[in-house]
Amino acid sequence: GDSVTQMEGPVTLSEEAFLTINCTYTATGYPSLFWYVQYPGEGLQLLLKATKADDKGSNKGFEATYRKETTSFHLEKGSVQVSDSAVYFCALITISNFGNEKLTFGTGTRLTIIP
């Protein structure tokens, strides 16, 4: 079945450090890929998405490129801030043979940025 594997956290970085959170997936067909972010005490928010191979999603300084050859969608940011501290979820949507879409999440990676 479909699955998403994220690097395990927690991840702790200093402010202005470079961030990479790895995400790989297993899916049939051609999924759409997403990163969601959950700030403390809040629900999940869509951070960025990519719907086909080689697409790059970007938002708030974060980027992720849909790599079909390596089945990956790694999240990157060049210079993190304390306000980026949150839990990040990689996710994918696939369409079943019956036309139903299925959204699958990774387990989440907790990121803490220290001043």
Partner 1 sequence: DSGVTQTPKHLITATGQRVTLRCSPRSGDLSVYWYQQSLDQGLQFLIQYYNGEERAKGNILERFSAQQFPDLHSELNLSSLELGDSALYFCASSVDTGRNSPLHFGNGTRLTVT
Q: Which phi and psi (to 5°) does residue 88 adopt?
A: -110, 130
Name the minimum Å distance from CB 83 to partner 1: 17
Span from 12-20, 60-68, 73-81, 106-114 in contact with partner 1 (CB under 8 A): 106-114
Interaction between residue 89 and partner 1 (CB under 8 A): yes
Interaction between residue 49 and partner 1 (CB under 8 A): yes
Name the minimum Å distance from CB 22 to partner 1: 16
**Burial class of residue 35 in the structure, from the number of CB atoms within 10 Å of its CB (0-12 exposed, 13-18 middle, 19+ buried):** buried
Q: Indicate which single residue of 27, 64, 73, 106 sits in contact with partner 1 (rule: CB under 8 A).
A: 106
Interaction between residue 109 and partner 1 (CB under 8 A): no
58 token code pair = 């970007």
Buried-exposed string 79-107: b where 16+ CB fall within 10 A, e elsewhere: ebeeebbbbbbbbbbbeeeeeeeeebebe
The Cα–Cα gap between 82 and 87 comes to 13
Interaction between residue 102 and partner 1 (CB under 8 A): yes
Binding site for partner 1 (CB under 8 A): 31-32, 34, 36, 41-46, 49, 51, 89, 93-95, 100-108
